[in-house]
């Protein structure tokens, strides 16, 4: 097990940006930056031993601050917050006070606002290689940032284990009551290139969240039975989806609230690589990348729709505006905790 810190790559807002590469004894390498806690690469051997990078991103970290990329709202490989996904009409009420948020996806707020956690330089807290390669980063989201109340202190750790599992653990505390709902926005392509239409997927969820046409949850909880949202058995994506829409849907996992369990699985027959996602979160957002449109990415290629898929583990989307959803409010004296892992094997 090892972890290697790069020299300073560049400065952003007067803060140094680095890349940290975690390696295990089986040939897995995961590179993570303190800019946006971005997973820049995830290199794994396929069924014939060929190394494949299975996450979307850029070869050079500097490209993550290019204006054209930022305007695409792709969130490639980054942590998103203070609140993942959409908050309807960029507003919520808490303790009889109405809070108006920044509206970066009018009229809604998406993934934390104009400059969410994905665009911040995180502080390096520690790196270690024994017994596992581990990176710990932190960020202080100040009171009023993007309209949210409270100084929110966030810490995220990444641990690469010898069983080919990357474990991500997040903790947060606040000095004022505030909504918190964090996730990691990694796009996977288990072939390394092309689209994910040939991938097989499984999501152990009997229900999904109903949503308006603008993808904001409306409070309905709907059964997957007899719909193309039923991934309780393994299905090839191209055989069940609407290719004009793809998937951008939140699924309620078939497990107890807060229980550790499987959130999703995907594999490619072409590469033989299988990804399993485990979490203690109650939902997973399955997104097949319909709106991807990025140029000059890895290998000087371009990303078009359906080049990657996301399994975004989180609390119920827009819960801050839907009383019958589990609460996403964190109060002083409480600790927000969330765990998710990606486990790689051969199919």
Mean pLDDT of successive 10-residue segments in the chain (347 residues)? 96 97 96 98 97 97 96 96 97 98 97 97 96 96 98 98 97 98 98 97 98 94 97 97 95 97 98 98 98 94 97 97 97 98 96
Q: Is 96 left (phi over 0), alpha (psi -120 to 50) or beta?
A: left
- Domains, the chain: 2-346 (2.70.98.10)
3-state class (DSSP) for residue 149: coil
Spatial contact of 94 and 176, defined as CB atoms under 8 Å apart: no
Query: Six-digit token pair at 245?
Result: 């829409």
At residue 59, the pLDDT reads 97
The torsion region of residue 288 among left (phi > 0), alpha (psi -120 to 50) and beta comes to: alpha
What is the rounded CA–CA span in Å between residue 260 and residue 279? 5
The DSSP H or E segment spanning 239 is: helix 237-240
Coil, strand or helix: which one is 160?
strand
202 catalytic, yes or no? Answer: no
pLDDT at 1: 87
Q: In this predicted structure, what is the pLDDT of residue 245?
A: 92
> What does the alpha-carbon distance between residue 290 and residue 117 come to, in Å, rounded to a whole number?
23
Beta carbons of 230 and 203 less than 8 angstroms apart: no
CB 297 within 8 A of CB 303: yes
- Phi (first) and psi of residue 151, to 5 degrees: -85, 110
Is 70 in a helix, a strand, or coil? Answer: helix
pTM above 0.95, yes or no: yes
Q: Dig out the tokens for 329 from the structure.
A: 């409010």
- Residues ≥6 apart with Cβ < 8 Å to 320: 83, 87, 92, 94, 179, 181, 328, 329
Q: Is 212 a catalytic residue?
A: no
pLDDT at 16 (0 to 100): 98
Bridge partners (DSSP) of residue 314 are 283
Which of 185, 199, 315, 316 is flagged as catalytic?
185
Place of tokens 């190394």: 51
DSSP-derived 3-state class of residue 323? coil
Q: Which of 29, 146, 165, 312 is catalytic?
A: 312
Polymer length of the chain: 347
Please name the helix (run of DSSP H) or strand (run of DSSP E) that holds residue 2, with its range, or none. strand 2-5
């Amino acid at each position: 097990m090892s972890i290697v810190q790069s020299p300073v790559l560049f400065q952003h807002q007067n803060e140094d940006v680095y890349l940290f590469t975690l390696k295990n004894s089986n040939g897995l390498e995961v590179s993570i930056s303190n800019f946006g806690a971005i997973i820049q690469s995830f290199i794994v051997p396929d069924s014939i031993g060929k190394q494949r990078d299975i996450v979307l991103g850029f070869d050079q970290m500097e490209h993550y601050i290019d204006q054209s990329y930022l305007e695409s709202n792709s969130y490639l490989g980054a942590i998103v917050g203070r609140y993942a996904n959409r908050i309807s009409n960029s507003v919520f009420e808490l303790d009889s006070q109405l809070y108006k948020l920044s509206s970066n996806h009018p009229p809604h707020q998406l993934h934390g606002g104009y400059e969410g956690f994905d665009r911040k330089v995180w502080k390096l807290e520690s790196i270690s290689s024994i017994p596992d390669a581990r990176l710990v980063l932190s960020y202080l989201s100040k009171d009023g940032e993007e309209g949210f109340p409270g100084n929110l202190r966030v810490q995220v750790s990444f641990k690469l284990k010898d069983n080919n599992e990357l474990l991500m653990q997040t903790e947060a505390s606040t000095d004022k009551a505030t909504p918190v709902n964090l996730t990691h926005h990694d796009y996977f392509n288990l072939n390394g290139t092309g689209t994910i239409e040939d991938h097989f997927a499984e999501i152990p969820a009997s229900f999904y969240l109903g949503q308006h046409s603008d993808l904001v949850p409306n409070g309905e909880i709907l059964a997957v039975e007899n719909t193309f949202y039923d991934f309780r058995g393994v299905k090839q994506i191209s055989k069940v989806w609407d290719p004009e829409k793809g998937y951008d849907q939140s699924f309620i996992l078939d497990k107890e609230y807060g229980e550790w369990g499987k959130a999703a699985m995907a594999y490619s027959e072409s590469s033989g690589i299988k990804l399993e996602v485990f979490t203690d979160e109650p939902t997973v957002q399955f997104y097949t990348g319909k709106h991807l449109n990025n140029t000059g990415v890895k290998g000087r290629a371009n990303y078009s729709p359906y080049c990657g898929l996301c399994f975004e583990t989180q609390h119920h989307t827009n819960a801050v505006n839907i009383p019958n959803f589990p609460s996403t409010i964190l109060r002083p004296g409480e600790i927000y905790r969330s765990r998710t892992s990606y486990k790689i094997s051969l199919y």
